[in-house]
């Protein structure tokens, strides 16, 4: 059965890994980081430790590249037992600058989908992380004109979305969220009885992964490609 989206007025698009490549750059950065510190630990152990430190720092730093870089610097000091060379610290900082300066690589079908939906719905960009970084990516993407505005949330939990719907002054049934993360773009939306469509990206950050238990009994649609949205919303 084709789900009904006839009440939808506003569509929220996640940005990273829904409209453009993001997670891939973090994975590449982690690989470079592990290679630089390979004399102190195995890549696998470095990955694990870095993830744990990121989670520890998350309440203070929040999401985004700058906090990630600060955690890498701190990790390098600890992993090396305070013997890491200054040049390695500099390289870590430069990894971050390169990430912030990366060109935006649009995912398949994005332009076509936005083109098709822009006159029928109010489209907004709903993302978490660093405001400046997200604004910069939106500008580089040349997609700005499709979106009514950009909403940067400090986190994507149910309470953040609830505040967003209030702010937009619409009912849950009138909102559809589209994104690659079950944890951030889909489950909190289902919780609010709004609509969500899941379009997976090939790589998911460990922090965004959910168990089968969490998705059990939840109603949402998973699509293989963003393009498959078009017939559902027309």
- Comparing CB distances to its own copies, the nearer of 125 and 199 is 125
Q: Restricting to residues 68-127, which ones interact with its own copies according to CB under 8 A?
A: 69-70, 73-74, 77, 80, 82-87, 89-90, 93, 96-97, 100-101
Q: Is 11 in the site for its own copies (CB under 8 A)?
A: no
Distance between CA atoms of residues 63 and 177, nearest Å: 20
Least distance to its own copies from the beta carbon of 147, Å?
12
**From candidates 5, 25, 47, 62, binder to its own copies by CB under 8 A:** 62
Least distance to its own copies from the beta carbon of 65, Å?
9
Least distance to its own copies from the beta carbon of 194, Å?
19
- Comparing CB distances to its own copies, the nearer of 88 and 232 is 88
Least distance to its own copies from the beta carbon of 100, Å?
5
233 Cβ contact partners less than 8 Å away, ≥ 6 residues apart = 5, 8, 11, 116, 117, 120, 121, 176
E-only strand ranges, 47-179: 122-128, 149-153, 175-179
The H helix count followed by the E strand count for the chain is: 10, 6
Decide if 184 contacts 208 (C-beta within 8 A).
yes
- Comparing CB distances to its own copies, the nearer of 11 and 229 is 11
Q: DSSP assignment of 39-58, as one string? A: TTS-HHHHHHHHHHHHHHHH
Least distance to its own copies from the beta carbon of 156, Å?
12
Q: Is 61 in the site for its own copies (CB under 8 A)?
A: yes
Least distance to its own copies from the beta carbon of 183, Å?
18
- Comparing CB distances to its own copies, the nearer of 35 and 77 is 77
- Comparing CB distances to its own copies, the nearer of 84 and 229 is 84
Q: Restricting to residues 126-185, which ones interact with its own copies according to CB under 8 A?
A: 130-133, 135, 149, 152-155, 163, 167
Distance between CA atoms of residues 120 and 35, nearest Å: 49
Least distance to its own copies from the beta carbon of 140, Å?
13
Residues that bind its own copies (CB under 8 A): 60-62, 66-67, 69-70, 73-74, 77, 80, 82-87, 89-90, 93, 96-97, 100-101, 130-133, 135, 149, 152-155, 163, 167
């Amino acid at each position: 059965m084709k789900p009904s989206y006839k009440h939808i007025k506003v569509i929220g698009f996640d940005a990273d890994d829904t409209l453009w490549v993001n997670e891939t750059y973090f994975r590449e950065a982690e690989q470079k980081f592990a290679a630089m510190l390979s004399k102190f630990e195995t890549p696998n152990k470095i990955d694990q430790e870095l993830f744990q430190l990121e989670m520890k720092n998350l309440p203070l730093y929040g999401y985004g590249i700058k906090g990630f870089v600060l955690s890498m610097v701190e990790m390098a000091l600890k992993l090396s037992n305070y013997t890491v060379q200054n040049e390695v610290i500099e390289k870590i900082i430069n990894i971050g600058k390169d990430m912030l300066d990366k060109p935006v690589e649009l995912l398949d079908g994005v332009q076509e989908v936005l083109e098709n939906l822009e006159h029928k719905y109010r489209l907004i960009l709903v993302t978490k992380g660093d405001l400046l970084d997200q604004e910069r990516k939106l500008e580089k993407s040349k997609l700005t004109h499709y979106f009514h505005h950009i909403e940067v949330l400090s986190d994507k939990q149910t309470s953040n979305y609830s505040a967003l719907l209030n702010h937009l002054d619409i009912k849950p049934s009138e909102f559809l969220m589209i994104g690659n993360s079950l944890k951030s773009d889909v489950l909190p939306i289902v919780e609010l009885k709004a609509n969500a469509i899941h379009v997976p990206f090939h790589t998911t950050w460990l922090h965004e992964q959910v168990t089968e238990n969490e998705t059990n009994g939840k109603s949402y649609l998973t699509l293989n490609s963003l393009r498959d949205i078009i017939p559902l919303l027309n």
